[in-house]
A = this chain, B = another copy of it.
């Protein structure tokens, strides 16, 4: 077996590279200017080093990256949480902030993943590269479980490593020339990825908006559904329902209007339905329940909030073959090229987990997970209601959207963190329309949710 290995250094197993030790004398001579060693710790927001004697390349920084205003919202919240824990090392900090699942993955699913892991060490069970679009069997199972009677086929489904990743791949697909609209407030990945792709102008500090993005205000006044008669038509409309962060879910009638609006303007809807299983009544779970939607919409979905897959990483995007660019070219064919070129498929172990999610036991287990978080949501809703707050959402989503009229979201966030050691999410982090709100996530252990509610009652009673 050692035929091709350099015999001189074969004894070393502590380094991944045999023979590397022979070069050490040379390597240790590499000189690094002391001034370049300053930035030892990453922060999402940073200023360039002030020392001008360091070597710089001649490559210009991507101007679109420079437009981004601050760190991506959730790492920023994690940073503030960490700082708080440094300040109060003994505090029992509870996080109902970043929307991260907390409950164990049902065993029927983890067993399947463990089994696949073991199988990978056998000749019969090993598999290498999968299809960039995902395993055929999983694509078929998704089509059947989520789109059984909607005419969405296996070939319309692209399995991904999560909705956030697919949103970026969709932006790459669409390119820098498109214009886009988003709900305001909305999940920050839509806007940030649009900025990175160069679809926007500079950030306007006075209105807290990027130039060239159409912000569709969703507020208590319009029932959290945009007034489409005042929306400027754009190429792309990002629409999340049930909405993150407001928790509101569009009705069938509203979605019919949305599809009509897209069709009138020739727009493409990117419909994020990552929370569809949280819907409590007969509102549409998929945009493809709306007649004609296949000609105007893409849908992106995730196992994260159904099966606790936030760390396992698995989702999918539906690009119907009926969706065409203005020249008649199918959008799905370009997206297929994107997943072939910029992606290599989700982990095979995660995909086995996805398949287990869609077995009868897996579906039941996912419903149990969703039910658990929905009970949390009700506890949080009842708490804020009992304290006299105006509360939105919650019924069809694992998020409670609480109004603090006239106050700054970050101030409320800081107050709640400082006084009762509870991490929430400031509404303004989701866009200017979120100012004056905080989002409270229902993802938490029951005990923590109850304790958080107890503290909230002490704080705001």
Contact = CB atoms under 8 A, between A and B. Distances in A.
Contact of A349 (B18, B104, B235, B312): B312
A64 B174 CA distance: 10
Interface magnitude class on chain A = 35 or more
Interface string A21-56: 011101111111000110111111010110010111
Contact of A120 (B104, B290, B371): B104
B71 A313 contact: no
B117 A325 contact: no
A344 B169 CA distance: 13
27 contacts: A1-B371, A1-B375, A13-B367, A15-B146, A29-B291, A40-B321, A41-B155, A54-B295, A54-B328, A55-B295, A59-B236, A60-B178, A62-B334, A65-B334, A71-B337, A71-B340, A98-B129, A103-B126, A107-B121, A110-B117, A110-B118, A113-B114, A176-B198, A192-B341, A193-B341, A312-B348, A313-B344
Contacts of A150: 27, 30
A340 B72 contact: yes
Number of this chain's copies in the assembly equals 2
A421 interface: no
Closest 3 CB pairs of A and B: A58-B266, A62-B175, A4-B374
Contacts of A86: none
B120 A110 contact: yes
A372 B328 contact: no
B32 A294 contact: yes
A120 B105 contact: yes
Interface stretch (A210-218, A279-287, A428-436): A279-287
A173 interface: yes
Nearest to A327: B61
